[in-house]
Amino acid sequence: MKRTLFASAIVLMVCATAVQAQDSVSTTRLDVQHKPTSSMGKRLPEYETNLLITLETGSPTMQAQAVQTMRNLEQAFPTYPFKSLIAPLAAKLKDEKTDRIVRRLAALALDELHSDAGDAAIKGVATSCDDKGLQSLCEALLIKSQYK
């Protein structure tokens, strides 16, 4: 009985070690595959310009996609300043005629930029907004930013 339990424990430890090693290898492989390339980094100003044009002139669906792409770029390139995005995103956030999904994505994007101007726009919407869902989101973002 002891030998069976000991053998089972050894097999479980070997399997667990193999699974853990495979997990770290696959994660590393995924990181390498999806790591932003330096050519993408060089083209960020161009991407930023195109996204701003889409944000200003596109349909609500295209605007939402542009803001989500901005958020993805912010996460992929955290050291890039994205300063030109703050004013248009704040304008979309404050404009009550803007699609509500675009407004919520704009609030999230402004929060991820970690700027005082973005925080001020979020605070303005949190204090005076008719859309209670957006107001709650902005209040939560302000609370989250205080703890970071």
- CATH number of the domain encompassing residue 134: 1.25.10
DSSP H/E element including 63: helix 60-76
Q: If you average pLDDT over residues 123-141, what whole number do you get?
A: 93
Domain of 22 in residue numbering reads as: 1-34
Tokens representing 84?
């030109």
pLDDT for position 133: 94
Q: Are residues 20 and 79 in the same domain?
A: no
Question: 98 burial class (0-12, 13-18, 19+ CB within 10 angstroms)?
Answer: middle
pLDDT for position 127: 93
pLDDT for position 61: 92
CB–CB of 125/135 below 8 Å?
A: yes
* 39 within domain boundaries: no
Q: Are residues 63 and 110 in the same domain?
A: yes
* Residues 57-86 pLDDT 10s: 878 999 999 999 998 888 888 888 888 889
pLDDT for position 100: 94
* 85 within domain boundaries: yes
Q: Are residues 3 and 55 in the same domain?
A: no
